[in-house]
A and B are shown apart, each in its own frame.
Chain A
Amino acid sequence: MLKFLSSLKLAVILIAAIAVMSILATIYPDADAFNSWSFRILMIAFFLNLSLCTIKLLPGFRKQLQRSAGDVPMEGAYRIYGVQEEALTAWLKESHYKVDRLEQNGQVRLLAQKGKWSLAAPHLLHISLLVILVGALISTFNTQGYVMGQVGQTRPFPDELNSVYQDSTVEILDFQTTYDAQQSIDNWVTHFNLYINGKLVGENAETKVNSPYRYGSLMIYQNSYDYRYLMEVQGAADAEMNTTYGLPDNQPSTIAGQTVVAATIDGKPYVQISDHKNPPRGQFVEPGDSLILNDEGATITYLDTAAYTILEVKTRRGTYVVFLGFILATLASLLFFSGRYREMRILVGQGGTQCKIWCFSKNSVITEEMEETLAQNWMKRQQEAE
């Protein structure tokens, strides 16, 4: 069972299953396959398989790192080259090989290795994937929510974060759309004061797209923005209705029994009121303009259009773990480019005038290249000597 769980066969089956399920999930997004139990079970199986594979391969990797001239076998696919040990060793070092030498019972054995670092790459990549999966699992316990407010308002933290941050608020100090030299939108920037558990912890803090604000494991992102039409109601029979409203853009709101819609048409604010009995009435407005709201004599006055900033507030517990996995994955990727591992197993012949060399690499093309280089090199040097 353990053998199967740690097998490459299972790994390939799981990789194929994850790929197929991901394809289906993108074609049928409504099925929400990535949150399904079957996908979670697949990921758990993949994690187990990868963990066992990594553990299984580590002793072999360790052994590979510890290889020395003593591991050079006496028999194998050796070829004879007319080269002296000293000259060969000097050439190997010139060619960036690390050479280990052992003299035993009158036999000199050499092990020349190159690209040892690249041996670590697949193992490191496997470990990085495990770290990323652990981080992703932790991050599923993250909580997030949205704070929406206009300049000057103090807004409480979203309910989702109340269990961690009680009595915590965001005081919106400023919200700006910034422009570049070509007058294109460069960014959206919110400045705010952050209160955690009633205490000011971030004064005039800034968040913008691509540059969120951080407080411990708490992140505040510039998520979006919106415009609200500030409308003041007066004279309503129900005194509670007489207040200032922030109406969302082009969305109906019910105020004192009437449906009110505010929108911007051709760059000008427009307000429409409907009682659902008569045809709706509306007009373009400027700050201070009033409209009759209902038959009771209530009026609604347009005050201003205010930008609302929308901030995403999120805890990020597993993200640092995921980022550690990302660093390891990047490192592993770079190690792949440090040169493929290759070694030359060398038996120095009696008298020292010739050597038996076995070029070894998992890639047959590299092995051939090594043999070709050796042949060319010693032929060339012989010619030079002549």
Chain B
Amino acid sequence: MEHLQLPLLWFMLAAYIGAMVVYGFSFWSRNIRMRKLATSIVYIGLALNTLALLLRTALIKGLPLNNGFEFGLSFVFAVVTAYVIVEYKFKLDAIGMFVMPVVVVISCWLVSVDLTIQPVMPALRSYWLAVHVSAAVIAYGSFALSFAVSVAYLLKDKKEVDFSSRLNQELPALKVLDAVAYKLVFIGLPFLTIMLVTGAVWAEYAWGTFWSWDPKETWALITWLIYAAYLHTRFLKGFKGRRAAWIAVLGFVAVIFTFFGVSYLLPGMHSYLVPNA
């Protein structure tokens, strides 16, 4: 069964690339039918993503949250699920064009890493793992989507004066984009808090210290600070629209650095997360 993983991932990647391309075409051709087709391809990609997760679950006989590959697979699943929910609730399929590149980049990384199943190290054999990593998946999924919506906002805002531009016609109103990005941060931040708290409690039991300024911990805290600043400036200083969108973009840069940058460039106690890092 282990050999089925890679083909499944390639099919998943193909579906996500397909969705991205069709979203792009639908945008340039202003074809709503094509956009609906792209959304259907996203559903196929999500189904394959779910299958890949289920297969991994069966292979490791546990939740697929133990290493970088499994986290990445769950992360992509969370981003696409969040997109599907937002698309359904707010009729925002136009932002698919901005979400799919994020999904495709992470999926490309997934097919490039070692998929061999390695024994789980003793420190990771804890119930805290499920809560800690699940909270991270939900938080990062929300932030990824808020990033995509914020990028859409910034691009549309730039073209606001030109009423004939495609961005103006195809993308939802700026107010809606701003509100959706904010809602996603509002969902993500409490989960990020839960991730930090459960991680710290677990570290106290596993390593004897609740906080050790490990690079991964520190960058997760930096991410938390950026999103905390997002909410504070929004609530109390009225930072909405463009300024809020820039903070959301900065926040997601921190998320990506926490996951990839720290794992590859700043090894620490979380080094086991990325295969061959």
A37, B58: Cα distance in complex, Å: 51
CB neighbors of A among B227-267 (8 A): 228-229, 232-233, 235-237, 262, 266
Cβ-based interface call for B28 (8 A): no
Interface size of B by CB at 8 A reads: 46
Give the distance to chain A from B90, nearest Cβ to Cβ, in Å: 10
Give the distance to chain B from A205, nearest Cβ to Cβ, in Å: 16
A296, B208: Cα distance in complex, Å: 48
Cβ of B213 and Cβ of A125 under 8 Å apart?
Answer: no
Q: In the assembled complex, which residues on chain B have CB atoms less than 8 Å from the CB atom of A34?
A: 213
Knowing A15-B228, A25-B213, the reply to whether A219 touches B208 (Cβ < 8 A) is yes
Cβ of A323 and Cβ of B201 under 8 Å apart?
Answer: yes
A34, B215: Cα distance in complex, Å: 12
Pick the residue among B186, B190, B197, B237 that contacts A8 (CB under 8 A): B237
CB neighbors of B among A173-228 (8 A): 182, 184-188, 208-212, 219, 221, 223
Cβ of B218 and Cβ of A333 under 8 Å apart?
Answer: no
Cβ of A22 and Cβ of B221 under 8 Å apart?
Answer: yes
Cβ of B206 and Cβ of A210 under 8 Å apart?
Answer: yes
Contact with B along A139-177 (1 / 0, CB 8 A): 100001000000000000000000000000000000000
Give the distance to chain B from A287, nearest Cβ to Cβ, in Å: 29
Contact with A along B167-205 (1 / 0, CB 8 A): 000000001100100100011011101100100111011
A211, B204: Cα distance in complex, Å: 10
Whose C-beta in chain B lies nearest to the C-beta of A362? B235
Give the distance to chain B from A55, nearest Cβ to Cβ, in Å: 16
Cβ-based interface call for B123 (8 A): yes
Cβ of B122 and Cβ of A186 under 8 Å apart?
Answer: yes
Knowing A15-B225, A23-B222, A329-B197, the reply to whether A211 touches B205 (Cβ < 8 A) is yes
Cβ of A16 and Cβ of B190 under 8 Å apart?
Answer: no
Interface size of A by CB at 8 A reads: 49
A365, B233: Cα distance in complex, Å: 18
Q: In the assembled complex, which residues on chain B have CB atoms less than 8 Å from the CB atom of A242?
A: none
Cβ of B232 and Cβ of A12 under 8 Å apart?
Answer: yes
Give the distance to chain A from B140, nearest Cβ to Cβ, in Å: 16
CB neighbors of B among A15-47 (8 A): 15-16, 18-19, 22-23, 25-27, 29, 34
Knowing A12-B233, A188-B122, A326-B197, the reply to whether A22 touches B208 (Cβ < 8 A) is no
Most buried by A among B122, B179, B191, B235: B122
Cβ of A210 and Cβ of B205 under 8 Å apart?
Answer: yes
Whose C-beta in chain B lies nearest to the C-beta of A188? B122
Whose C-beta in chain B lies nearest to the C-beta of A223? B208
Cβ-based interface call for B37 (8 A): no
Q: In the assembled complex, which residues on chain B have CB atoms less than 8 Å from the CB atom of A19?
A: 222, 225-226
Q: In the assembled complex, which residues on chain A have CB atoms less than 8 Å from the CB atom of B228?
A: 15
Cβ-based interface call for B120 (8 A): yes
Q: In the assembled complex, which residues on chain A have CB atoms less than 8 Å from the CB atom of B189?
A: 336
Cβ-based interface call for A334 (8 A): yes
Whose C-beta in chain B lies nearest to the C-beta of A327? B197
- Tell me what chain B mostly uses at the interface: helix, strand, loop, or mixed: helix
Give the distance to chain A from B77, nearest Cβ to Cβ, in Å: 21
Q: In the assembled complex, which residues on chain B have CB atoms less than 8 Å from the CB atom of A139?
A: 210
Give the distance to chain A from B146, nearest Cβ to Cβ, in Å: 15
Pick the residue among A29, A187, A319, A332 that contacts B122 (CB under 8 A): A187
A36, B135: Cα distance in complex, Å: 32
A208, B215: Cα distance in complex, Å: 26
A319, B209: Cα distance in complex, Å: 9
Cβ-based interface call for B165 (8 A): no
A103, B208: Cα distance in complex, Å: 61
Cβ of A336 and Cβ of B126 under 8 Å apart?
Answer: no
Cβ-based interface call for B159 (8 A): no
Give the distance to chain A from B191, nearest Cβ to Cβ, in Å: 7
Give the distance to chain A from B222, nearest Cβ to Cβ, in Å: 5
Q: In the assembled complex, which residues on chain B have CB atoms less than 8 Å from the CB atom of A8?
A: 232-233, 236-237
CB neighbors of B among A335-370 (8 A): 336-337, 362-365
Most buried by A among B120, B186, B204, B233: B204
Q: In the assembled complex, which residues on chain B have CB atoms less than 8 Å from the CB atom of A29?
A: 215, 266
Cβ-based interface call for A330 (8 A): yes
Cβ-based interface call for B219 (8 A): yes
Cβ of B205 and Cβ of A182 under 8 Å apart?
Answer: no
Whose C-beta in chain B lies nearest to the C-beta of A39? B213
A213, B77: Cα distance in complex, Å: 39
Cβ of B206 and Cβ of A18 under 8 Å apart?
Answer: no
A-B contact pairs, 23 of them (CB 8 A): A8-B236, A12-B229, A12-B233, A22-B218, A22-B219, A25-B213, A26-B266, A29-B215, A208-B122, A210-B202, A210-B206, A212-B208, A319-B210, A323-B201, A326-B197, A326-B200, A326-B201, A330-B193, A332-B190, A332-B193, A337-B190, A363-B179, A364-B179
* Beyond known contacts A337-B190, A365-B176: 16 more, CB 8 A cutoff: A8-B237, A15-B225, A15-B229, A16-B229, A19-B222, A26-B218, A26-B266, A184-B119, A209-B122, A210-B125, A314-B208, A319-B204, A329-B197, A330-B197, A333-B190, A364-B179
A-B pairs, 7 with minimum CB distance: A184-B119, A333-B190, A365-B179, A209-B122, A221-B208, A326-B197, A26-B215
Binding site for B on A (CB under 8 A): 8, 11-12, 15-16, 18-19, 22-23, 25-27, 29, 34, 125, 136, 139, 144, 182, 184-188, 208-212, 219, 221, 223, 312, 314, 319, 322-323, 326, 329-330, 332-334, 336-337, 362-365
